[in-house]
Structure 1
Amino acid sequence: MGNAILPNNTARHGRKTRLAGRLLAATAGAIGLFATLPALAETLVVKNFTLIDGRGGAATPNSAMVVEDGRIVWVGPSAQAPVDAAAIDLTGKFVIPGLIDTHIHMGNVHDLTQDERFYTTENVEADLRTYASYGFTTVAVMGTDKDSVFAVRNAERAGRPTMTRLFTAGQGIVFRGGYGGVPGINRPVANAREAAIEVDAQAAKGADYIKFWLDDELATMPKMPPEISQAVIDAAHRNGLKVFAHIFYLEDAKRLAAQGVDGFVHSVRDKPVDKELTDAMKEKGIVQVAATLSREAAMFAYGKPAPQLDDPFFKQSLSPEALRLLASPERQKSVASAPAFPRLPGFFDTAMANLKREAAAGVHYGVGTDSGPPGRVAGYSGHWEMELMVKDGFTPGQAIQAATGYGAEILGAKDLGTIERAKWADFVVLDADPLKDIRNTRKINSVYIAGRKVRSVAQ
């Protein structure tokens, strides 16, 4: 691939000025964004690729895109692209929007050990670069960040990031003695008043949404009472924020739907969802933020030698020690000996079936993995998630739209998720057609964030 940035010399300056004039004429009337274009704008032109734009339509062959200062200013047929612009020729390639994982955790794991002491800005940024290398250019962290995350996020939003964009709930709300969070990061609450205070604190820090856990870990821990979940939801809405919940049981999902929750970050896994729940979700606009199918599969996959342990795409982001431990017969035996292990494949099957039922009922859904904790691999899990969706009966196009346009809608990220004029130029170049085989999302040629090429897996 050639240099994506045109050199700032006299010859190119004149060429870019003419290009800017033509682009202005072509786009200003349509989108009303540019009274003028800077003469020395950073310009990227790519052409001759097949476009899958994240809006769910058919792929468009022989496409081109023009980017100015990280934003898409023109997209259309290659034959109509500005002829005097230096362009990167992507003949035979496929371009999709940057992928979005709507449920992750980051910064807290070293090898296969999770501990809050590992949470540093350096580790957070390393995780964000890992996600970018896998084509996930936006992630949503669900409640296990330290306050230092806000400086990282704010710096990204102040300019053009060079690593994956992040959204964060700050510290999610955990019931005292109950399930959820990371010790040392999350501050458990004991009553409705404490819950509302904690929500207000996250909102004051600048949380993008609120997350809370409602689970009893298979009846081994106390569950958050209804008055506390209601207080969390009410406080989030009073602060103008959406509120997303970790759930496991159907009865809890119904309770939260009645209380006004905005979305679920896992599938119901104890029994099939019913019409009562899907009707409520559709009527109230409650979204399946993430089904976390790959998370459910990962819970039992490493109780024996897993096929992905020999996959270079899987191994790309793991340390040698993490790989050694995952392949260790001793660890596999330990995983398989857990009391709940025999039930885990059934929970996975139920999650798969419930996502399909919700989609058939018209419930909106994204692609989220719950990756980050030990054994749930950053970046790789998102591609596995899409593969599992296709095995669940979704088309590759539906899986890609869920991981792009739908994900952006769930997060309220209006500038992301699709390849359209005026949006950020976050996109992934693939060497093979993902609509023919969803596993082709793994054949990454290069990744761009805000119009700049970032490190790709192939590199």
Structure 2
Amino acid sequence: MSFRTLRGLAAAAAVLTVSGCGQKPAEPAPSAEAGQLLTNFTLIDGTGRAAQPGSAMVIGPDGRIAWVGPAAEARPPQGARTVDLGGKYVMPGLIDLHVHLGNVVDLKQDYRNYTRESVEKDLKQYAAYGVTTVLSMGTDNDLILPLRAEQRQSGRPAMARVYTAGQGMVFKGGYGGVPGLNQPVSTPQEARAAVDAQAAKGVDVIKFWLDDELGTMPKMPPEVSAAIIDQAHKHKLRVLAHIFYLEDAKRVVGQGVDGLVHSVRDRPVDQALIDAMKQRGTWQVAETLSREASMFAYGVPPSEILNDPFFQAAVTPAALAQLKSPERQKTVASGPHFHDYPAFLDTAKANLKRLKDGGVPYGFGTDSGPPGRFAGYFSHWELALMVESGFTPAEAIRTATGVAAQFLGAKDLGTLEAGKQADLMVLDADPTADILNTRKINAVYLGGRPVSVVKP
């Protein structure tokens, strides 16, 4: 993966004009300790308000937004650095509510790959693509906890902020998790004990997998999923379920699950599910449309995605060579359900639109991280697929920023307003005119500090 390192803010501060004459004392040199002024940009703030041309933002030395508004009204602190963005577009960093970290090298997944180095590499790659916060969905080992604690203590990490579900619950012999990491459960008692263990570690949410992998594996019984949900709620933790089938979505919503982390993909959602989700406040936490698209994208040569420089920036040379291999493409295309995957994607897209129109709360997530689902790129692919599903670009952006922060309960993230963390992307073109413009990344800031960004 290649990155370009942003020039230091000292270089950007060359736009600052300091006036003086005669014996007047020199103005103090611009200093990060005095804060920053970003000016001359169009603001897309993540609240759903219309884009605001001619904007400016004062970022305090703590990395939070001290003021945002019309550039003509900006009053930065004395000595603050000024960065003229030259008419570019500023939007909040993306928040991906369904990722997996650290277990994959090239295209090989193994729990032994999970190290502090591999996790930080993924989090830096997310940030380089403008994904400034992620929720890791149930395949972390315990080293994620001190890393998360360090981030929250500093408030200004140099990589994407992380939330975690720790180790999610998998039914014995069933689908999900990472072998060697996730310990299977087979009874309600074991399920409750597993939830207790995760709660004691201080995870942010509880995750479990309810799936039979298209009829090839045992499915978690109702009494086990009910025990997980009940025990999580005893710990005042929200619990999220991996589902595929409509009947399973109805089951866990009826049992009180707080969110679904994939769309229903076997058939159209019905009014009964919509009504139940609205009544209970159940979120469609993540749709993972990009996950569904990736299930067949690598089996149809020549694949446009493989030749996209924005994609290639996320992929190691070894992984890209494997993906381009005709032998591997033939293997993917010969899978027993390969020709079913496009229909699953179409169903997921249609169901997301039905849930949206029906008033069900929904968030944003990709299921990126497993082999072939690359950190950062998939978040932008997800936005494009949401627009294909019937969202406007502005709606998709709000879902992936302000709304996603609402799901996390992260009151200082997701929107570019006074008091919030200055986690943002600077774009060369208007993403509300064309969602593909989120890929034209000029700069990314985390807590007011620039980080390295992708170089397609």
* TM-score normalised by the chain length of structure 1: 0.92
Distance 1:206 1:409 in 2: 20
**Please, which of 316, 321, 335 is the counterpart of residue 318 of structure 2?**
321
How much has 1:99 moved relative to structure 2?
0.5
> Is 2:256 aligned against 1:263?
no
Question: For 1:402 and 1:115, how far apart are their aligned partners in 2?
Answer: 32
| 1:145 alignment partner in structure 2 | 140
Whole-Å separation in 1 of the counterparts to 2:400 and 2:382 = 10
1:127 aligns with 2:107: no
SS in structure 2 of the partner of residue 410 of structure 1 = helix
Structure 1 CA distance for aligned equivalents of residues 267 and 369 of structure 2: 26
1:380-434 deviations in Å (ceiling 9; x for gaps):
0000000011111100000100110111111111110000111111000000000
- Equivalent runs, 1:4-403 vs 2, <5 Å: 4=9, 41-68=33-60, 69-82=62-75, 85-159=80-154, 160-305=156-301, 306-403=303-400
Q: Structure 1: where are the runs of 5+ without partners?
A: 17-39
Which stretches of structure 1, 4 residues or more, deviate above 2 A after TM superposition? Answer: 1-7, 10-16, 83-86
Q: Give 1:443's aligned residue.
A: 440
What is the CA–CA distance in structure 2 between the aligned matches of 1:124 and 1:297, rounded to whole Å?
Answer: 25
Q: What is the alpha-carbon distance in structure 2 between the residues aligned to residue 263 and residue 277 of structure 1?
A: 13
> SS at the partner of 1:404?
helix
Pairwise CA distance, 1:377: 1.2
Once the two structures are TM-superposed, the CA of residue 163 in structure 1 deviates from its matched residue by 0.6
Does structure 1 retain, via aligned residues, the 8 Å contact 2:88–2:426?
Answer: yes
* TM-superposed deviation, 1:192: 0.6
Is residue 2–residue 88 contact of structure 1 (8 Å, CA) maintained in 2? Answer: no
Contact 1:371–1:377 (Cα < 8 Å) also in 2? yes
Residue deviations 1:221-280 (CA, integer Å, cap 9, x gap): 111111111111111111111111000000111111110000000000010000000111
Aligned to 1:409: 406
1:34 matched residue in structure 2: none
Q: Taking structure 2 as the reference length, what is the TM-score of the superposition? A: 0.92
What SS does the corresponding residue of 2:86 show, helix, strand or coil?
A: coil
Taking the aligned partners of 1:86 and 1:118, their CA distance within structure 2 comes to 42
> What residue in structure 1 maps to residue 20 of structure 2?
none
Q: Aligned partners of 2:28, 2:210: CA distance in 1, in Å? A: 58
Q: How many residues matched?
A: 434
Aligned residues with identical type, % of pairs = 61
Question: Counterpart amino acid of 2:59?
Answer: V
| TM-aligned CA distance change 1:3 to 1:15, over 3 Å | closer
> What's the counterpart of residue 420 of structure 2?
423
- Amino acid paired to 2:129: Y
On the 8 A contact 1:353/1:392 being kept in 2, the answer is yes
Letter in 2 for 1:147: D
Q: Distance in 2 between matches of 1:429 and 1:125?
A: 23
* CA shift for structure 1 position 86: 3.3
Partner Cα distance (1:161, 1:2) in 2:
18
- Partner secondary structure for residue 309 of structure 1: helix
Matched position secondary structure for 1:158:
helix
Q: Please give the root-mean-square deviation of Cα atoms over the aligned residues, in Å.
A: 1.7
SS at match of 1:87: strand
- Are the counterparts in 1 of residues 38 and 58 from structure 2 also a CA contact under 8 Å? yes
Contact 1:191 1:228 in 2 (8 A): yes
* 8 Å Cα contact 2:310/2:455 also seen in 1: no
Q: Deviations over 1:4-31 (max 9, x none)?
A: 4789xx9666988xxxxxxxxxxxxxxx
Does the 8 A contact of 2:35 with 2:81 survive in 1? no
The residue that corresponds to 1:19 in the other structure is none
* Equivalent-residue separation in structure 1 for 2:205 and 2:44 (angstroms): 29
Structure 2, unaligned runs of 5 or more: 1-5, 15-24
Q: Distance in 2 between matches of 1:220 and 1:99?
A: 35
Q: Deviations over 1:99-143 (max 9, x none)?
A: 011101110111111111111010000000000000000011100
Alignment CA distance shift 1:236-1:376 (3 Å): same
